[in-house]
Amino acid sequence: MHSPDDATTYRLTTWWCFDAPLEPVWNAIADADGWPAWWPGIASVVLAPGDPQGLGAVRRYTCRGALPLRLSFVARVTRIVPQRLIEGRACGDLVGRGRCSLACAQGRTTVHLDWQVRTASAWLNRLAPLIHPLLRWNHDRLTQAGGQGLERYLAQGAAMNAFKKESA
């Protein structure tokens, strides 16, 4: 059984793999304001845009997965390596850090999402020993929907690019 402190801490890892080159995958992920268009359960509002690459950008996210629960947090981008890595810090209902790294080989792009957070809400923390597995499951459903949504989004973009080439 987890101690109450352990039950409030989460190490959440997700892998996505796309039959797509790196650039369109990076563009979709780096454009966090566009996430709600392809990631069900995610909403974001820009509070501050950051530099031209997005470093220092601050956004408030509200997430809703399969459970009837909304979590909100503010994230600040702390590091960007273009087309390779985005790192950030979160505070709010979730406190911690996130990292998104991308790699491409033979036309397939792999995305690794690593989220190390703890819940900060008093009521979530009181229930944590009981609901820890449910919150992990909820996160998994949310990121699975994100991967499927991004796959559809990329396919639509590829179809649009093919149409533009044929029309030219």
pLDDT at 164 > cutoff 60: no
Of the chain, the end-to-end C-alpha distance in Å amounts to 63
Coil vs helix vs strand at 88: strand
Query: Confidence class of residue 167 from pLDDT cuts 50, 70 and 90?
Result: very low
Q: Supply the pLDDT for residue 74.
A: 95
Element (H, E) at 81: strand 70-81
Of 23, 1, 14, the C-alpha closest to 104 is 23
Query: From CA 78, how far away is CA 82, in angstroms rounded?
Result: 13
Domain ranges of the chain: 4-167
Tens digit of pLDDT for each residue in 102-133? Answer: 999 999 999 999 999 999 999 999 999 999 99
Which CATH number does the domain 4-167 belong to among 3.40.1390.20, 3.30.1510.10, 3.30.530.20, 3.30.980.20?
3.30.530.20
Is the pLDDT confidence value at 7 over 70? yes
- Other beta carbons within 10 angstroms of residue 38's beta carbon come to 20
Burial class from Cβ neighbours inside 10 Å (0-12, 13-18, 19+) for residue 52 reads exposed
Question: Model confidence at 5, in pLDDT bands (50, 70, 90)?
Answer: low
Q: What is the pLDDT of residue 43?
A: 86
User: pLDDT tens across 47-83, in order?
Assistant: 888 888 888 889 999 999 999 999 999 999 999 999 9
Report how far residue 53's alpha carbon sits from residue 57's, in angstroms, rounded to the nearest whole number.
9
Model's pTM, two decimal places? 0.86
Q: 111: closest CA among 98, 122, 129?
A: 98
Closest CA to 80 of 26, 12, 151: 26
Q: What pLDDT is stored for residue 142 in this prediction?
A: 97
Q: How far, in Å, are 10, 49, 73, 114 from residue 121 at the CA level?
A: 14, 27, 11, 21
Specify the 3-state DSSP secondary structure of 142.
Answer: helix
Question: Which of 51, 49, 48 has its CA nearest to residue 82?
Answer: 51
Kindly state the tokens that stand for 67.
């459970």
